[in-house]
Every structure is written in C-alpha cells, then in structure tokens.
Amino acid sequence: MRANGLVIAIDGPAGVGKSTVGKLVASRLGYSFISTGKMYRALAWKALELGVSLEDDGALVALARAARWAFPKGAGPEADVSLDGRVLVLELAEERVSRASSAIARFAGVRLFMKDMQRQAGLEGGVVMEGRDIGTNVFPDAELKVYLDASPEARARRREGQLKLQGLPANYAEILDFIIKRDAQDSGRENNPLRKADDAHYLDSTAMPREKVVDAIVALFGAARK
Ligand code: DC
C-alpha cells in the first residue's frame, strides 16, 4: 500500500473529458489530480518560446532536464505546472502548444523523461493521474485503471458546446476533423501509443452524463480498495 492511497490511472483520447471527470473524482476522494498532458504541453511551450526544434528528441530532453519543474498546489485538487518559476496556465491552452505537444510526445527520450517525472509525482498514491499511457507505461502497477472512451462525434459535439458557451467560434466539422487527426497521431505513434491496458476498466461515456461517469469510477475505487 502507498502512503497516501491508491494511484488511479485514467487514459483515453483527446476531448473525452478525462480532466473534468478526473478532477471531480479527485475532489470526491480527497485525492490530488495530475494532468500529464500539461507536462507535455509545458515542454512544448518552452521549446516554442526558445526556438528549440520540435523534431530533435535530444535537444528536447536537454531542454526538459535543464528546466526547473514544480507542481505547486492550485486552487482545486489539481496541481499547477510551473517551469523555471513561471506558473503556466493560459499558455498551455494555446492551439500551437496543443499541436506541438502531440508532436513532441512521439519521441522516446521525451517520453522517458516524462515517465520518470510522473512516477515521482504519483508514487506515494492518493492521486488521480490522467493521460494516454498512464495505465500501460507510467503506472502499470496502478491499483485502479480506467480507459475512458467516447465516439469522435460525441467528443466533437461536446467541444463545440464548450466553445459556444465561452462565446468562441466553433465549427463542428473542423473540430471533428481535428479530433480524428489527434486520435490517429496519439494512437498511431511507435512509442507508448494510446491504448487500453489489459487490466483497465473500459468506460464508454458517449451516452453517459458526466456525473454518472464519476459515480462509476468512485464505485470502482471502492472495489479496488478492498
Ligand atoms: O491531454 P492533452 O491534450 O493535454 O495532451 C497533450 C498531448 O500530449 C497529446 O496530444 C498527447 C500527449 N500526451 C501523451 O502522449 N501522453 C500522456 N500521458 C499525456 C499526453
């Protein structure tokens, strides 16, 4: 048993609601929440800022190693990502950063750096960690693994709704196209592609309200703790 509780790994494709659901689960359990995608995004942002090539694994690893990473406690259950003393929030949501993060996530060296850092962050347990390879690669020994899925159409519809709520332009066809391309990139790469771990619970949230997904994971937690 880990000092602070279980490690709960949530993996799944882009736009499936892993962060929203993961944060709600963490709040219900008094756990912390870590989005590993933000770590990839932070490194991508730094590379873009400094003009480091997104095609050079060695240079990206050197950049990651030289940076001072910290994960200070944020307002809710989620830790912030701070690089060299700068807390990154809005920067990580930029479209160019999103695209660059998926590109650098292909590389074996970058992934190994991230895996070590993520294991360090979650080793004591009491954590919900969300990403693409948590159950398969980062914490193959997680006490609870969930693979959250939804059809690309349902994910695109949700994203369209979120953007419209924020008063931002939203084009369903473009969003769907983006989601399908991102799925192909994340699942098709050679190093730790997105896939369900054999011992992960599969949850298809296409027709499931968010609260029901949270309830289902909390119920799985109750069973995993026994
Ligand atoms: O979840 P996200 O969209 O913030 O992740 C950004 C990119 O990082 C995503 O395209 C894939 C990559 N990623 C990954 O390869 N492995 C993870 N554990 C998390 C994210």
- Residue 18 burial class via C-beta count within 10 angstroms: exposed 0-12, middle 13-18, buried 19 and up: buried
Q: Which of 88, 193, 194 is nearest to 147 (CA)?
A: 194
- Check pocket membership of 39 for ligand 1, CB cut-off 6 A: no
Tell me the three state secondary structure of residue 78. strand
Give the tokens for residue 122. Answer: 């979650």
The number of the ligand 1 atom at minimal distance from the alpha carbon of 192 is 15
- 199-220 mean pLDDT: 96
pLDDT digits (tens, 9 = 90+) for 16-45: 999 999 999 999 999 999 999 999 999 999
Q: Whose CA is nearest to atom 4 of ligand 1?
A: 37
Cα–Cα distance for residue pair 208/101, rounded to 1 Å? 29
As a whole-number percent, the residues of the chain with pLDDT over 90 amount to 90
d(CA 208, ligand 1 centre) in Å: 23
Cα–Cα distance for residue pair 208/213, rounded to 1 Å? 7
d(CA 164, ligand 1 centre) in Å: 24
The amino acid that residue 24 corresponds to is L
Can you give the pLDDT at residue 144?
Answer: 98
Secondary structure element (H or E) that encloses residue 60, with its range: helix 57-66
Can you give the pLDDT at residue 74?
Answer: 85
Contact 120, 2 (CB under 8 A): no
Burial letters for 185-203: b for 16+ Cβ neighbours within 10 Å, e otherwise?
bbeebeebebbbbeebbeb
Give the tokens for residue 142. Answer: 């997680």
d(CA 40, ligand 1 centre) in Å: 6
- Check pocket membership of 37 for ligand 1, CB cut-off 6 A: yes
φ and ψ of 58, to 5 deg:
-60, -45
Contact 204, 150 (CB under 8 A): yes
- Check pocket membership of 145 for ligand 1, CB cut-off 6 A: no
In sequence order, which residues have a C-beta less than 8 Å from that of residue 99 and are 6 or more positions away?
none
- Check pocket membership of 130 for ligand 1, CB cut-off 6 A: no
DSSP 44-58: HHHHHHHT--TT-HH
Can you give the pLDDT at residue 168?
Answer: 87
Q: Is the pLDDT of residue 224 over 90?
A: yes
Q: Is the pLDDT of residue 226 over 90?
A: no
Compare 14 and 214 and report the one with higher pLDDT.
Answer: 214
Can you give the residue ranges of every domain in the chain?
Answer: 7-225
Q: Which residues does residue 167 pair with via DSSP β-bridges, in sequence order?
A: none
pTM, to two decimals: 0.94
Name the superfamily (CATH) of residues 7-225: P-loop containing nucleotide triphosphate hydrolases (3.40.50.300)
* Residue carrying structure tokens 């359990």: 29
Q: Whose CA is nearest to atom 16 of ligand 1?
A: 132
Q: Whose CA is nearest to atom 14 of ligand 1?
A: 132
In sequence order, which residues have a C-beta less than 8 Å from that of residue 158 and are 6 or more positions away?
15, 17, 150
Contact 154, 15 (CB under 8 A): no
